[in-house]
């Protein structure tokens, strides 16, 4: 009997409260959300609506319980609370459908904070009208109670300040989600503009919470933003060079090095450049300025640029500056230089002995050739020879690995990898044709380079080397043709034999050597 009463009372309360609408609205919103792409912030809102729907049902059940127990005043209080929770749940569900389903479908860009404010105001109206439906005039109570107004006003002062500031930020779009900003000592990406705060995620994986009212008063630098230009941010990479080296030489070298081969995240326009920043007591201060296209990898990109600078200067035998207080003792330096020269020479003679091509030379011949060798270090990704360009050097690899690539339409196809002990760049020197391939450093590479004249005069003095060079040359030529034309092994062999005799004849003819 008792349970029958409870069920009847609950049924009455639920139908009076229009709970079917509340629950139905929430379920409809959930269903539509499932069919739409997930948006940020939707979870929090649907959780809010779920809570309110649950609260509404709970309060309605409690009110029915109070009715059965004949506690009328409690039943009517709970009834009102259930009605308010139900009205708020309906507002939440309608908000979800309107903003997160319909507007998202239409791709209308209504700031999140504005959506929250609209839902908040609708919620307030729902509370006031539900209460007045039950005979309670909330607006009058709030207006006539000075103390209540003061307390609420004071409590809301900061929150309202933040809310208005957040709204202003989103409406004038001065700071947007996804922007990289610098506020006080914090720099990072804006991940969220909430109604109370703006969250910035730094590169150190921290999230800095800045109240919106602070943000509107502070100086905010938006990184990489310039009207009408793509998002890119200028960076400075400093280095010092002994001022005895002409700045024009340093600037030209370094500018070419950073422009020559694209670096990831470095914009092509404006192109990177090198400038002389200052002249100090014993050194000149330079900077490479480049535009970073992705704000996140700032230090790694600086590091690649710095490495390029380092290797370029090393190749040109331009040392980075030594501290100004270093003392030069002339006598010592001369001796030291001599020692260093002897060391370097024997090192190069040793290097020549490691290369197949020069193994047959006598020590004296190698020593003579060593005088024409120059150190040429390259960093990973740098181009050592470019297909189609005029040749000036023969390269001997001492350390590291290079990739030999030929252009195949717009693609670059690798035809070989060469390592320590190999040489390259001989084809153009021997035939006078442009470079047949582009050679790129696959890792940091140490090369010695021999100038064209020294190589040619060596061949003239040692005609027996022509045969060996012709062999390598024919092998490589055949490799290039085989890659281009996709030859099978049989055809490859035939072509190799033809190339070998043809090249030997041509080399001998070119250098006027006996046939």
Which residue in the set 194, 366, 476, 499 belongs to the binding site for ligand CMP (CB under 6 A)? 476
Which residue in the set 161, 479, 487, 495 belongs to the binding site for ligand CMP (CB under 6 A)? 479
Q: How far is residue 20's CA from residue 15's CA, in Å, rounded to a whole number? A: 7
Contacts (CB under 6 A) with ligand CMP, residues 157-176: none
Compute the least distance from the CB of residue 253 to ligand CMP, in Å: 22
* Owner of token pair 């005799």: 501
- Asked if residues 127 and 84 have their Cβ atoms less than 8 Å apart, the reply is yes
Compute the least distance from the CB of residue 457 to ligand CMP, in Å: 18
Q: How far is residue 69's CA from residue 160's CA, in Å, rounded to a whole number? A: 43
**Cβ closest to ligand CMP, residue 235 vs residue 435:** 435
Phi, psi dihedrals of residue 387, rounded to the nearest 5°: -55, 135
The number of beta carbons lying within 10 Å of the beta carbon of residue 144 is: 10
Site string for ligand CMP, 417-436 (x = CB under 6 A): -------xxxxx------xx
Compute the least distance from the CB of residue 511 to ligand CMP, in Å: 16
Compute the least distance from the CB of residue 189 to ligand CMP, in Å: 44
**Cβ closest to ligand CMP, residue 56 vs residue 435:** 435
Phi, psi dihedrals of residue 217, rounded to the nearest 5°: -90, -25
Closest residue to ligand CMP, Cβ-based?
Answer: 479
Number of residues that bind ligand CMP (CB under 6 A): 17
By CB under 6 A, residue 384 contacts ligand CMP? no
Compute the least distance from the CB of residue 299 to ligand CMP, in Å: 35
By CB under 6 A, residue 386 contacts ligand CMP? no
Compute the least distance from the CB of residue 415 to ligand CMP, in Å: 4
Local structure of 219: helix, strand or coil = coil
Question: Hey, what are 156's tokens?
Answer: 């809301």
**Cβ closest to ligand CMP, residue 79 vs residue 435:** 435
Interaxial angle between packed helices 247-260 and 298-315, expressed in degrees from 0 to 180 and rounded to the nearest 10: 130
**Cβ closest to ligand CMP, residue 171 vs residue 497:** 497
Question: Hey, what are 427's tokens?
Answer: 């084809």
Which residue in the set 119, 220, 241, 416 belongs to the binding site for ligand CMP (CB under 6 A)? 416
| CA-closest candidate to residue 385, choices 369, 406, 370 | 406
**Cβ closest to ligand CMP, residue 237 vs residue 437:** 437
- DSSP-derived secondary structure for 418-473: EETT-EE-HHHHHH-PPPSSEEEESS-EEEEEEEHHHHHHHHHH-THHHHHHHHHH
| CA-closest candidate to residue 481, choices 489, 473, 492, 472 | 492
Find the angle CA(200)-CA(204)-CA(208) to the nearest 5 degrees. Answer: 25
Compute the least distance from the CB of residue 268 to ligand CMP, in Å: 26
By CB under 6 A, residue 415 contacts ligand CMP? yes
In terms of residues, how long is the chain? 515
Compute the least distance from the CB of residue 379 to ligand CMP, in Å: 19
Compute the least distance from the CB of residue 427 to ligand CMP, in Å: 3
Compute the least distance from the CB of residue 482 to ligand CMP, in Å: 8
**Cβ closest to ligand CMP, residue 67 vs residue 429:** 429
Residues 6+ apart with CB under 8 A from 432: 510
The number of beta carbons lying within 10 Å of the beta carbon of residue 488 is: 8
Q: Which stretch binds ligand CMP (CB under 6 A): 17-25, 75-83, 302-310, 476-484?
A: 476-484
- Asked if residues 63 and 79 have their Cβ atoms less than 8 Å apart, the reply is yes
Contacts (CB under 6 A) with ligand CMP, residues 185-204: none
**Cβ closest to ligand CMP, residue 273 vs residue 483:** 483
Compute the least distance from the CB of residue 399 to ligand CMP, in Å: 18
Q: How far is residue 54's CA from residue 311's CA, in Å, rounded to a whole number? A: 68
Contacts (CB under 6 A) with ligand CMP, residues 389-408: 391, 404
Compute the least distance from the CB of residue 501 to ligand CMP, in Å: 19
Site string for ligand CMP, 314-333 (x = CB under 6 A): --------------------
Residues 6+ apart with CB under 8 A from 164: none
Contacts (CB under 6 A) with ligand CMP, residues 438-457: 439
Which residue in the set 19, 385, 445, 503 belongs to the binding site for ligand CMP (CB under 6 A)? 385
**Cβ closest to ligand CMP, residue 130 vs residue 436:** 436
- Asked if residues 197 and 162 have their Cβ atoms less than 8 Å apart, the reply is yes
> By 3-state DSSP, what share of the chain in percent is helix, strand and coil, each rounded to 5?
55, 20, 25
Site string for ligand CMP, 3-42 (x = CB under 6 A): ----------------------------------------
Residues 6+ apart with CB under 8 A from 311: 257, 377, 378, 379, 382, 444
Cα Dmax for the chain: 126
Q: How far is residue 88's CA from residue 96's CA, in Å, rounded to a whole number? A: 12
Q: Which residues bind ligand CMP (CB under 6 A)?
A: 385, 391, 404, 415-416, 424-428, 435-437, 439, 476, 479-480
């Amino acid at each position: 009997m008792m349970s029958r009463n409870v069920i009847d009372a609950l049924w009455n309360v639920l139908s009076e409260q229009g709970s079917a609408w509340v629950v139905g609205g929430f379920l409809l919103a959930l269903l539509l959300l499932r069919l739409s792409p997930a948006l940020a912030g939707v979870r929090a809102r649907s959780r809010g609506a779920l809570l309110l729907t649950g609260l509404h049902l709970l309060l309605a059940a409690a009110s029915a319980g109070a009715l059965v127990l004949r506690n009328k005043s409690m039943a009517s209080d709970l009834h009102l609370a259930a009605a308010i929770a139900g009205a708020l749940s309906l507002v939440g569900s309608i908000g979800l459908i309107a903003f997160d389903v319909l507007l998202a479908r239409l791709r209308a860009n209504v700031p999140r904070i504005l959506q929250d404010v609209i839902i908040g105001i609708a919620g307030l109206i729902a509370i006031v009208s539900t209460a007045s439906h039950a005979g309670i005039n909330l607006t009058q109570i709030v207006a006539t109670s000075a103390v209540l107004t003061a307390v609420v006003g004071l409590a809301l002062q900061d929150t309202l300040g933040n809310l208005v500031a957040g709204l202003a930020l989103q409406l004038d779009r001065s700071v947007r989600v996804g922007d990289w900003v610098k506020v006080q000592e914090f720099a990072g990406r804006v991940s969220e503009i909430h109604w109370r705060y703006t969250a910035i995620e730094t590169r150190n994986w921290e999230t800095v919470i800045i109240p919106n009212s602070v943000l509107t008063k502070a100086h905010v630098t938006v990184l990489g933003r310039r009207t009408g230009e793509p998002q890119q941010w200028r960076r400075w990479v400093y280095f010092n060079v002994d001022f005895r080296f002409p700045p024009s030489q340093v600037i030209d070298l370094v500018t070419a090095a950073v422009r020559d081969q694209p670096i990831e995240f470095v914009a092509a326009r404006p192109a990177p450049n090198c400038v002389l920043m200052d002249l100090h007591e014993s050194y000149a201060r330079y900077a490479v300025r480049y535009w970073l296209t992705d704000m996140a990898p700032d230090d790694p990109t600086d590091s690649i640029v710095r490495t390029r600078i380092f290797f370029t200067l090393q190749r040109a035998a331009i040392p980075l500056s030594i501290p100004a207080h270093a003392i030069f003792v002339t006598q010592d330096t001369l001796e030291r230089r001599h020692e260093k020269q002897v060391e370097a020479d024997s090192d190069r003679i040793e290097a020549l002995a490691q290369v197949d091509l020069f193994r047959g030379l006598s020590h004296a011949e190698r020593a003579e050739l060593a005088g024409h060798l120059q150190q040429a270090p390259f960093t990973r990704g740098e181009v050592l020879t470019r297909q189609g360009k005029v040749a000036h050097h023969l390269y001997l690899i001492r350390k590291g690995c290079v990739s030999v690539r030929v252009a195949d339409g717009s693609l670059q196809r690798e035809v070989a990898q060469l390592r320590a002990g190999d040489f390259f760049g001989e084809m153009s020197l021997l035939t006078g044709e442009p470079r047949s391939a582009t050679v790129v450093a696959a890792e940091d590479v140490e090369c010695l380079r021999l100038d064209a004249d020294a190589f040619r005069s060596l061949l003239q003095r040692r005609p027996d080397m022509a045969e060996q060079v012709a062999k390598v040359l024919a092998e490589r030529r055949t490799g290039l043709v085989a890659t281009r034309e996709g030859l099978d092994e049989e055809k490859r062999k035939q072509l190799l034999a033809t190339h070998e005799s043809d090249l030997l004849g041509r080399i001998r003819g070119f250098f006027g050597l006996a046939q």
